[in-house]
Structure 1
Amino acid sequence: MSIEFLLTSLIVVATPGTGVLYTVAAGLSRGARAGYVAAIGCTLGIVPHMLAAITGLAALLHTSALAFQVLKYLGVAYLLYMAWSTLRARGALTTDEDATPRSAAKVIVSAVLINLLNPKLTIFFLAFLPQFVGPGESNALLRMVELSAVFMLLSLVVFAGYGKFAAAIRHRVMSHPPVLAWMRRVFAGAFAALGAKLALT
């Protein structure tokens, strides 16, 4: 397992997006348990993207160097796009003001749908994940399953962390704009740096 894959996956998972916002909102509005349940749901929402990528790209990994170059630059474009979109991100974090308790099943279903409809995950699995599997690797399918499982585990841990943190500050301040702006710049810079490194590899 390369450090590049772990670092890139961690940045992708930790970057505030729809799944993170939903998990944070659940933690802020209903406490740590709801945040953990939302994290599980968002992680389950990754499975369809993983299956689509694995079943469609396992054979492609053995085709040609051209295919790998195409995937490589798709990955570069994806990382640069994420840097640009992170810098452009606007809007305040909002919480669910509905005081009616929601069942764990409803929270999970909502979280699954959020990640299922997240195009960032589709692009990640289709354009980026295969770059960490060697073109001549005999067990390419197994390798992609392994990488996907690590990505899902990171997602669960990071999202649960977001939910726990949100629950811890739910009775204090919901958010602090200067801190959010600083985080956006850091994540955008990291995406751009990884994209440049991948392009030059």
Structure 2
Amino acid sequence: MNVTFLLTTLVVVVTPGTGVLYTLAAGLAHGRRTGVVAAFGCTLAGLPHLLAAVTGLAALLQAGSVAFTVVKYVGAAYLLYMAWSMLRDRSALVVEQDPAPRPAARVIGSAVLVNLLNPKPALFFLAFLPQFVPAGDIGAMLRLGGVFMAMTFAVFTAYALCAAALRERLPRRPGLLTGMRRGFAACFVALSLRLAVA
């Protein structure tokens, strides 16, 4: 397998974005299990992007400025909603000894929406993967897409476990937790604005 592809993919996956931020917030707020489930949901969101790239839908999305703009603004609006929800939910980052587990379906649904409404992964699959795939080789694109998703899950899981470990060591200081909540919300707002003007 092409080393350049692996290294570039690793850089793209490790670079913090909406999925990483959501996974960190989930692990920090609700622990190891929820963080790993969030990592899985963010990874799962790559599947529709990959299938869209394979079937040519991503090319249509890129070529159709109206469609791209709609997806872009819906994604930006959802990130703003995430920021607002985090600020509104006063218990979102309260460190409890035995937190009530969040339903896996709800965590996965939110994680999928976070990445699904971001057009950047679709453009990544469209612009990056074809450079390493012989023309018309759908099997190769699916294999490389699978590698990308496996790497995404591994890296995001590492982020989730680190956040959960930090969570277990956080002192019970409401001011610190409030600041972290506001910091995550500010990051979601910044990512939303960056997506909107992209």
Q: TM-score range by the shorter chain?
A: 0.5 to 0.7
Q: Deviations over 1:134-168 (max 9, x none)?
A: 34xxx611000000000000001000000000001
Deviation (angstroms), 1:101: 4.6
Q: Distance in 1 between matches of 2:5 and 2:128?
A: 10
**Cα distance in 2, alignment partners of residues 11 and 164 from structure 1:** 19
Which residue of structure 2 aligns with residue 133 of structure 1? 133
Deviation, structure 1 residue 102: 2.2
Q: 1:159: which partner in 2?
A: 156
Q: What is residue 11 of structure 1 aligned with on the other side?
A: 11
The amino acid that maps onto 1:172 is L
Question: Residue type matched to 2:44 in 1?
Answer: L
Match for 2:10: what amino acid? L
After TM superposition, list the pairs within 5 Å mapping 1:1-201 onto structure 2. 1-56=1-56, 97-98=91-92, 101-135=101-135, 140-170=137-167, 171-172=169-170
Give the Å deviation of 1:121.
0.4
Q: With structure 1 as the length reference, what TM-score do the two structures score? A: 0.63
Counterpart code for 2:46? I
Stretches of 4+ moved more than 4 A in 1?
A: none
The equivalent residue for 1:64 is none
Amino acid across the alignment from 1:140: D
- 1:2-26 CA-to-partner distances (Å, cap 9, x unmatched) read 0100011111111100000000000
Q: Which amino acid is the alignment partner of residue 111 of structure 1?
A: A
In the TM superposition, residue 117 of structure 1 has moved relative to its aligned partner by 1.0
AA in 1 matched with 2:152: S
Q: TM-score normalised to the size of structure 2?
A: 0.64
Contact 2:34 2:101 in 1 (8 A): no
| Structure 1 position 37, deviation (Å) | 0.2
What 5-or-longer segments of structure 1 have no aligned partner? 61-93, 176-201
Match for residue 187 of structure 1? none
What amino acid maps onto 1:39 in structure 2? A
Q: Structure 2: how far apart are the matches of 1:41 and 1:105?
A: 9
Paired with 1:172 and 1:7, the residues of 2 have a C-alpha distance of 34
Q: Which amino acid aligns with 1:29?
A: A
Partner of 1:125: helix, strand, or coil? helix
Aligned-residue identity in percent: 57
Superposed CA deviations along residues 104-148 of structure 1, whole A, max 9, x for unmatched, are 11000000111101222011001111000134xxx6110000000
Q: How many residues are paired up?
A: 138
Cα distance, 1:56 vs structure 2? 1.3
Letter matched to residue 165 of structure 1 = C
CA distance in 1, matches of 2:112, 2:52: 16
C-alpha distance in structure 2 between counterparts of 1:46 and 1:172, whole Å: 32
